[in-house]
Structure 1
């Protein structure tokens, strides 16, 4: 049996700061190349069996499992692992649950991939619920930069889409609209539907979706009316859409509140029940750099 898992990606710029000066973009290629060479030397010559960089985040062990470079694109591929000591159960649909058995020094590893573009200084980070997030990855890179004496300070800034509102209102077809409102705006939505708002109501979430066929879409005029009504309201805490710019473009996600650049991809999970990091990176390269709808071009245009 195979299932499809939807995976999201966010984009960041790496910065360092010297005391008394404004933050500046830092090129991480020197660091990644040094770490890559050390990992490669340790694996091929067997000089050090404990060569992987291990650190702790939220009192759990984590590590930079691998660093490689795609020579065609010159993008770096980093694989981070969260090492989970809490064991999951295994079972059948109607069977008894049993804990997975591991040795005392073994862990359950949760992979996450990172693409780094050294020319434009952009990090593309895979988002998994059970894996390391951007804050943990930022902490790892900070310790490495200090260890290799490249920089003392380091932070990753989320790349935001200042054109989100304009682009959202100029889409040709809308596939999904997700809305989250609070306060009097939430009361107003419920009053429209039921004539009155119940006491104790704080948040209302609405999700509108088209059919699954490529030609399916939510009415264009209706979609734009929703966006125009809610996009500038302080009581709207989340407003996201999935839409197409034109008939030939792919469906993309646009966040009208946080304005963060993001994209998504579906991965089939087959017999091994894992998403191969190489497959993830290959898809990341395409999503990031394809000439028609690649995220690189969208980010650089802002």
Structure 2
């Protein structure tokens, strides 16, 4: 059987009211789950969105002893598309309509866990599915529908304070993206100016008040074209003087791993997991949709037991990075 894996990212967001006060969305989630199926849908961006399932996760005695008052609420959300969909095969060019019944949709789903103890949303990130902004908008709309009230709610990303230590493991920087005001260039220290080389002198010819976006890329060449020592010093310098920049993103890889982006300004705490994306049916290997139950169980394990690539639970990393 062919083995294929799908890398899925998970991120953490603090549920708050836009200021420093945290918000508990657990009661709202259960109120939504009590609604009839057709009453749980909200039209977002021209597409119906709904919560399909809400449940409190069962925690073992060891977990409750370690984390008193811990309560995790799992919920599953789907975007329901019914626009014209066609399918094709790898060996031919013809498209065939995928005919949907009136009550059938193409579902793009995500799984989420809400930690009531820390007011943290732990969310699966799918390329085509809802973003945390979409989840927030849905919950606010449902609050108005159910209680005729407006809820102040925001999901603030938990920053990754250890992003610099992770970048130190990168041995092949592929791209450096910077945005800054022209007057900010005068505040660049030596490591940053070394990284830009003679190119930086160009900025001296511009007038003040100009916004500059700069992309340094190694392109498709496999060799590391950035001088490692200069880049490492520049990265450290950016992190220490990030108020100078409106954007600072480093793309790089370690060994044979895929290229990853590291946002030095708005870097979010995240963890990942490789799911199997195929199954064998009658001797044939077929791609499959990720089972929400499997995603739920893995998310619970990552959050409470050990995050991928870390020596501690993701929940503990979140708490550390919130303070």
TM-score (norm 2): 0.67
CA, structure 1 residues 84+238, in 2 after alignment: closer, same or farther (shift >3 Å)? Answer: farther
Equivalent in the alignment of 1:160: 158
Relative to structure 1, the CA distance from residue 239 to residue 172 in structure 2 (aligned partners, 3 Å threshold; closer, same or farther) is closer
Match of 1:8 in 2: 9
CA contact (8 A) 2:194 2:230 kept: no
Q: What's the counterpart of residue 298 of structure 2? A: 283
Tell me the matched-pair count: 268
1:237 pairs with 2:224: no
Asked if the contact 1:14/1:154 (under 8 Å) is kept, the reply is no
Q: In 2, distance between residues paired with 1:86 and 1:273?
A: 22
Specify which of 200, 204, 208 is matched with residue 215 of structure 2.
204
SS, match of residue 129 in structure 1: coil
Matched, 1:260 2:268: yes
Deviation at 1:173, TM superposition (A): 3.0
Cα gap change, 1:242/1:13 in structure 2, threshold over 3 Å: closer, same or farther? farther
Q: Runs of 5+ in structure 1 lacking a partner?
A: 40-47, 212-217, 245-251
* Residue from 135, 139, 142 that aligns with 2:140: 142
Q: CA deviation at 1:255?
A: 3.5
Post-superposition offset of 1:126: 1.4
Computed over aligned residues only, the root mean square deviation of the Cα atoms, in angstroms, reads 4.1
* Residues 82 and 100, structure 2, Cα contact 8 Å, conserved in 1: no
Q: Provide the rounded CA distance (Å) in 2 between the counterparts of 1:226 and 1:112.
A: 37
Q: Return the offset for 1:243.
A: 9.0
CA distance in 2, matches of 1:170, 1:91: 41
Corresponding residue for 2:66? Answer: none
Which deviates more, 113-122 or 1-10?
1-10
2:73 is aligned to 76
Q: Map residues 18-97 of structure 1 onto 2, 5 A cutoff.
A: 24-36=21-33, 38=34, 50=37, 53-72=40-59, 74-95=71-92, 96-97=94-95
Kindly state the Cα deviation for residue 228 of structure 1 after the two structures are TM-superposed.
2.3
Instruction: Tell me the alpha carbon deviations over residues 242-269 of structure 1, each in whole angstroms, 9 at most, x when there is no partner.
Output: 899xxxxxxx986322132222222221
Offset at 1:190?
8.3
Alpha-carbon spacing, 1:102–1:51, altered in 2? closer, same or farther (3 Å): closer
**1:143 and 1:3, CA in 2 relative to 1: closer, same or farther beyond 3 A?**
same
- Are positions 1:179 and 2:176 aligned together? yes
TM-score w.r.t. the length of structure 1 is 0.71
Kept in 1: contact 2:16–2:22 (CA 8 A): yes
Q: 1:43 — aligned with what? A: none
Distance 1:138 1:176, change over 3 A: farther
SS in 2 for 1:13: strand
| Contact 1:114 1:126 survives alignment (8 Å) | yes
Cα 1:135–1:51 shift into 2, 3 Å: same
- Partner residue, 1:102: 100
* Residue 294 (structure 1) aligns with: 313
Judged with a 3 Å threshold, the aligned counterparts in structure 2 of structure 1 residues 191 and 16 are, in CA distance, closer, same or farther, namely closer
Q: Map 1:110-125 to 2 at 5 A.
A: 110-125=108-123
Q: 1:10 to 1:242 in 2, by over 3 A?
A: farther
For 1:281 and 1:30, the matched residues in 2 are separated by 20
